[in-house]
Structure 1
């Protein structure tokens, strides 16, 4: 059985996505390479969206009180 590919964390995915965008914006990639970069960018975008959705769900679970979610602002850095 082939090993499962290592999942990148959000920051790594975002960094790779930014690199792909820079390459595509330069406009000098051959069409085949540009399509591969675009496909990889779509995968990275979906991975980032999934990570953000999971983080949002965790925050909602952590802030839920008495069956209702209470919105609150994060404290300013000076308040910590």
Structure 2
């Protein structure tokens, strides 16, 4: 059965919970491995969603006549 697509905010919350559990250090090894694996999956989902959002923003800016992509590091775009 295919998992329904998770929203970015939900993925972040789940990832934070996994990190909290792993940082406590009292998780059995098998559970820690499963949590770590799920955390990596969620991290990938978040990264992909951020990349997709960036592409959409660049596309929208191009449609509005701006050819310079937004650079969050210097606040220019």
TM-score range, shorter-chain basis? 0.7 to 0.9
Q: Structure 2: how far apart are the matches of 1:6 and 1:70?
A: 32
TM-score of the pair, normalised by structure 2:
0.82
Q: Max radius of gyration: which structure? A: 1
The structure that is strand-richer by fraction is 1
1:71 to partner: Cα distance: 4.0
Distance change in 2, residues 1:24/1:56 (3 Å): same
Aligned length: 71
The one of 5, 9, 12 equivalent to 2:10 is: 12
- Aligned-residue RMSD, C-alpha: 2.0
TM-score of the pair, normalised by structure 1:
0.79
Stretches (4+) displaced over 6 A: none
